[in-house]
Structure 1
Amino acid sequence: MNEFIGWCKARGYKFDGLEITCPPGNCGNGIYSTTTFRAGRPIITLPEYDMINSALVVDLPFYRKKMAKFTEKLKPMEILTMFFCFEDFETSAWSPYLKVLPKEFDTPAFKGIDYDVNTLPLSIRKFWVDQKKEISEISEKVGDHYEVRKKIVFQLRRLFPELTHDKILWAWHVVNTRCIFVENEEHDNVDNSDGDTIAVIPYVDMLNHDPQKYQGVAIHEKRNGRYVVQAKRQIMEGEQVFVCYGAHDNARLLVEYGFTLPNNLGAKVLIPQEVLLTLAKIAGIAVTREHEMVLEEVGLPSHLYATDEGPSWSLRTNVRVMLLEHWQMANGRWKKIIYSHDPIDEEVDQKIDEKLEIMLKELRNGVVEKTKKMPKDVQWMWEEQVKVCDVAIESFGTNDSSQKPRSPVEKGEDKEKGSEE
């Protein structure tokens, strides 16, 4: 680690008042403050030319020569994976950095675990399906037919047969678990068809994730030619410095990064419209095609979030729509009702609560029953969904109107929370 720290300083990194150490009970490294930082102060700065992105790699003579043999271009993820495959731990200019990277990962893909998509909650199902689709497409290019763990071979295996499967698997995980969102400029020798928004940034990639108490905010200051992590609030001496990877639930964190968090407020239960309609009918709401059309036009998610103390404004609004009479929906009258700034009539509000409580209890029962039927290795994912339902249901135990979720207009927000990050 001392070699890595010296390497960073020699390349112009600035991180005075920080140290890298292993947190208690954690198998990885973390960054801790050895002094107090005030809000707004830069805590890490480095020159932008040390951001390892696709443009940097393809402009290096070694990789320019390798890629000149092929007519096809590689995508950013493939280019960065190629970089970590070929860089020699002893002779590379990034050698001190390569030596502090983890040797293995705790993700299902690295461990060779293949989940049956039908056993996963909806909150992670699409992500898992998309990941498997990407892996399968790449595998077809290679011509190999391995199981999921072995399918992460990319077309690099075809272009560079000297690379071993294990090397590619490790390099892919380095990039996938450590890359940071950066809007990179397009490069003529990079396949930018899917965009180019990833970079691996030494030292910065050792900041761990905490969506509740994170203090660090990362900024690419293009005018100043540097990448900066700023303190968004005061950081006290001895604190671990965190950033937020996104509002991910534990299933997503495990699949993408290989860890979970206790009491993760990123937990959520996705409620597609077809499920919402079924629950509404069970609660005795007469849902017509007209209601369905209005719901589609409103376009609000009906999901439950662990960050909410009860059903969100968008879910309540969807139930309110389904309780509208025909004359209230005709000729677009529903817009004046739904988007009005006036308080909801108390009788209507109570009816929304009454129907929502029935719907969410039914939803919870359904989740509990599914949990019992699921394989043991995914039951914990469903149990977290049950907890989110419980919190929402418990909110009906109070008659305090101040606890009702307010609309984005009432809260001064531009838009309601979306269904996905």
Structure 2
Amino acid sequence: MRRLGRTNRTRRKKRTNKPVIDCSEEIVSLSKWMKRESKSHGFKWRSMLYPANFLDTGRGMMTRETLRPGDVIVSIPQHLLITLETVLSSNIGDLIKRQKLKLSSQQLLSLFLLSERNKGDNSYWHPYIDTLPKSHTTVGYFSARELTLFPPKLRKAAESRISDIKQAYCEVKEFHSGETIQYEDFLWAWFCVNSRSVFYRSARSEFVREDGNHLALAPYLDLLNHSTEAQVEAGFNEKTGSYEIRTHNNYRKYSQVFISYGSHDNGHLLVEYGFTLPDNPNDALTVDYDVVMEAAKSLNVSYTEKKQDVIQTNNLHRKLACTVEGLSWNLLMIIQILAMDWTELQNWKNVLKGSVISPRNERLSRNIARVFLAQYLHQNQELVNKFPPFSSRTRMENLIFSIVQTERDILHLTWTSVT
């Protein structure tokens, strides 16, 4: 399965097994602009990385040198960062100050991007804005029907995220000289910021909402793709006056260099960034404690009140999940406790040793697991049945299906482990 989403977005040229340097007009213009503007401020622009097209990910960044742990892979001068100071010192900033608005950093950066995009070639930031995607595959772009294809918990998270974005839009849509900002335009800018911003702590301002988000945009740097295996150290270096990323991985010459967005499962990656990864080690299917309890009660387990007291007092009912390795530790613990007879319950801490409590307990534990797994498998199959045939699916439907299929694979592997 190939990676879907942002990193597979535009290049449908004939591919080879080797990366191909990206010589598109917008990338060439960006590189020339970065070099010219760095020199004008006394910086020597030299990047170890070239934008290139890769067989498995589409556009990414290729190293032209062997990289070792500790090497700085990209360094962006401060004046080429779009920070909150950049926004507040612009025409948009003047409007915000006159109207005495107090907005989030993401709202501010989004408004700035829209303003600069509207300037076209007259914008100082045009070479950067021209490299931004024209559309996204993030959650704000899914139709109401496509949202019904999401697994229930992910659909709830997606709908909550959409609600937050609409609220953010309502707060700013009329501010621009009385001219209404279109939601589609705001959505584009919002997800450009959401998927490309870096952590950057700006000075406090009466016009910036303190929400814990410290964001900036870093041209060129945001061409780097995400990998679960990437280990990096990133931040603003006061000594060099640049935002730097330092790798802790080894990279061969001409290989793709990655950064990490964090330890996220595919559901989070799709909702926030618009792509999924094959074989994502962070993928898991969350199991509801109430569903486990219902499964146990359906098998007429005894002393449920006492067992629930033990489970909840020791916080064993949290972080219940299935992964490719089977039942999570907490989930395994609680089904063994639920399967205990009265004598075993008096020494319930024996489950922490990882040993089999008794053959009877082992059988009942597996039966409890099979009951709630069957329920999740049924729900998953109902979702699978909603999808059109592969040849008829949209790009969005394929992204969602990859998550539904991953959950199905996890459930089957877990089922095998308890039978």
Question: TM tier, shorter chain?
Answer: 0.7 to 0.9
Cα distance in 2 for residues equivalent to 1:325 and 1:48: 66
Cα distance in 2 for residues equivalent to 1:294 and 1:116: 41
> Deviation of residue 375 (structure 1)?
5.1
After superposition, the C-alpha distances for 1:140-186 in whole angstroms (9 at most, x for unaligned) are xxxxxxxxxxxxx4432211143542432322221122223455553
From 22, 42, 48, give the equivalent of 2:53. Answer: 22
> Deviation of residue 123 (structure 1)?
4.3
> Deviation of residue 81 (structure 1)?
0.6
Change (3 A) 1:198 1:16: closer
> Deviation of residue 22 (structure 1)?
2.4
> Deviation of residue 324 (structure 1)?
4.5
Is contact 1:268-1:303 (8 Å) kept?
yes
2:63 paired residue number? 33
Compute the TM-score of the two structures, normalised by the length of structure 1.
Answer: 0.76
> Percent identical across equivalent pairs?
22
Is contact 1:13-1:46 (8 Å) kept?
no
1:72 aligns with 2:94: no
> Deviation of residue 223 (structure 1)?
4.9
3-state SS of the aligned residue for 2:122?
coil
Cα distance in 2 for residues equivalent to 1:184 and 1:322: 52
Q: Which runs of 5+ in 1 are unaligned?
A: 139-152, 398-421
2:140 paired residue number? 109
1:54 aligns with 2:54: no
After superposition, the C-alpha distances for 1:315-371 in whole angstroms (9 at most, x for unaligned) are 2122233235567767xx75x556x5x453463784576346524642453234432
Aligned pairs (5 A) from 1:73-222: 73-87=102-116, 88-110=119-141, 113-115=143-145, 119-138=149-168, 153-160=169-176, 161-162=178-179, 164-165=181-182, 166-182=184-200, 184=202, 186-192=204-210, 194-211=211-228, 213-214=229-230, 216-221=231-236
> Deviation of residue 189 (structure 1)?
2.0
1:260 paired residue number? 276
TM-align CA RMSD = 3.2
Q: Match for 1:217: what amino acid?
A: V
Cα distance in 2 for residues equivalent to 1:14 and 1:298: 56
Higher RCO, 1 vs 2 (CA within 8 Å, ≥6 residues apart):
2
Q: Which runs of 5+ in 2 are unaligned?
A: 1-26, 389-396
> Deviation of residue 205 (structure 1)?
1.0
2:19 paired residue number? none
Q: Match for 2:410: what amino acid?
A: V
Is contact 1:123-1:268 (8 Å) kept?
no
1:347 paired residue number? 358
After superposition, the C-alpha distances for 1:44-91 in whole angstroms (9 at most, x for unaligned) are 122345442334422x14233211221331111110111101113323
1:147 paired residue number? none
> Deviation of residue 121 (structure 1)?
1.3
After superposition, the C-alpha distances for 1:271-322 in whole angstroms (9 at most, x for unaligned) are 121112123334554461232233333333111234xx22221221222332
1:316 paired residue number? 332
Cα distance in 2 for residues equivalent to 1:33 and 1:364: 44
Cα distance in 2 for residues equivalent to 1:269 and 1:363: 13
1:408 paired residue number? none
Is contact 1:122-1:270 (8 Å) kept?
no
Q: How many residues align?
A: 370
1:406 paired residue number? none
Cα distance in 1 for residues equivalent to 2:414 and 2:201: 38
> Deviation of residue 239 (structure 1)?
1.3
